[in-house]
Amino acid sequence: MRIYECADYRAMSRRAASLIAAQVVLNPEGVLGLATGSTPIGLYSQLVEWYKQGDLSFAGIRSVNLDEYLGLAPTHEQSYRYFMQQNLFDHIDIKPENTHVLNGLAADPDAECAAYDQLIRELGGVDLQLLGMGHNGHIAFNEPGDNFGLGTHVVSLSERTIDANQRFFESRDQVPRQALSMGIKSIMGARRILVVVSGEDKADAVCRAVTGPVTDQVPASVLQLHPDVTLVGDTAALSKLKEAGVPVCG
């Protein structure tokens, strides 16, 4: 695992965006696995800026997103399809038909999950998968205790994840209790993985994921077993790694 330390959120976003941009330039018809949440917003903004400057094109890129809330329409302001449109897709030249997000209103969620895994296979797999990391070490919506062998599946959200997402809704009661999510097996199938982390509140999770045992109690720890993982974080998020003596690059 390669670990890069950046001074702050802005620098982290730019470094992570540069890695994604390099992937797009090297493989302009490749498949990007994309993530939502507050952490990737800055890097998406940087990619949009480079596109508008004429430095980058997504015309041939295909994308697949990690997850979606069960029960939310694509037009709902808190759906992940809406997030991607607002923060990236509507501002670059990626073709709408090449952007793929799980359908939160699927009549048969299990069938939707199976079809999504088939879609990823038909696309030839994910070339670069972007990930954030939750406070409990979850990646996508794979919570502690979830089976590492699962593909895309229906997930019941933990109380901690519901609490963390409450800020995006008018009340806690409005936060969906389930989601459709790529599983650990799906994520580990990507050729390359890029993890972005920011803030002191993520320091414990990052340290446990990188230095602790590989355990389903810290889902991100499974990334230790992947052959090509890059972690980009700001100084605060990587603080406990440095205390533990883990080498990081500047």
- Which residues does the annotation mark as catalytic? 67, 136, 138, 143
Describe the crossing of helices 41-52 and 9-26 by its angle, rounded to 10 degrees: 50
What distance in Å separates the CA atoms of residue 140 and residue 138, rounded to the nearest whole number? 7
What distance in Å separates the CA atoms of residue 156 and residue 105, rounded to the nearest whole number? 16
- Considering just the CA atoms, what is the radius of gyration of the chain in Å? 17
Which DSSP string do the residues of 118-148 spell out, in sequence order? HHHHHTT--SEEEE---TTS-BTTB-TT--T
CB-based contact 61:32 (threshold 8 Å): yes
State the first-to-last Cα distance of the chain, in angstroms, to the nearest integer.
14
Hey, what are 5's tokens?
Answer: 């330390």
- List the 67-69 sheet strands across, edge first: 67-69, 178-181, 153-156
Q: How far is CA 33 from CA 30, 63, 97, 129, 247, in A?
A: 10, 6, 15, 4, 27
Q: What angle do CA 127, 129, 76 make, to 5 degrees?
A: 125
SS3 category, 44? helix
